[in-house]
Amino acid sequence: MYSDLRLGDVIDDFCVKCRRLTNHSIVSLLSGAAAKVRCRTCYSDHDYRNEQAPPSKKELAKQKELYNAVLAGASASVQAAPEEASPVMEPPEERAPSAVAEGPSDLETGSAPRPAAKKTTKGTRKK
């Protein structure tokens, strides 16, 4: 592509802010290739995109539909395959006593758990 790139050289790239192909100055190099560039129109810095625009929303929606179709096909084949017998772990019979006795739990009293107290920050008003 480009040979002997140096900092400050001008190259073409797709600007994410301008949303078009514009001139860019090289801001950083990585292994002899441009890593970050600065648009010479709007002066925004971004990663070098190899002159390619990001995919449109239509393209992303199409990719998502294809991905979901593949997942649906994969999950159907997994469900159709016989499952191997896996050992089931049983819960322990007795619970170890807690180190701190706190009184009756919500399960024993049948009441709903209490919501956590909200922290107020300086400068906010209660409504």
The sign one gets for the Cα dihedral 7, 13, 19, 21 is positive
**3-class SS of residue 44:** coil
Does the predicted TM-score (pTM) go above 0.75? no
Phi (first) and psi of residue 63, to 5 degrees: -65, -40
Q: Band of the pLDDT at 74, cuts 50, 70, 90?
A: confident
Domains of the chain: 1-73 (2.30.30)
pLDDT > 70: what percent of the chain?
A: 57
Average the pLDDT over 72-87 and give the result: 65
Q: What is the pLDDT of residue 73?
A: 83
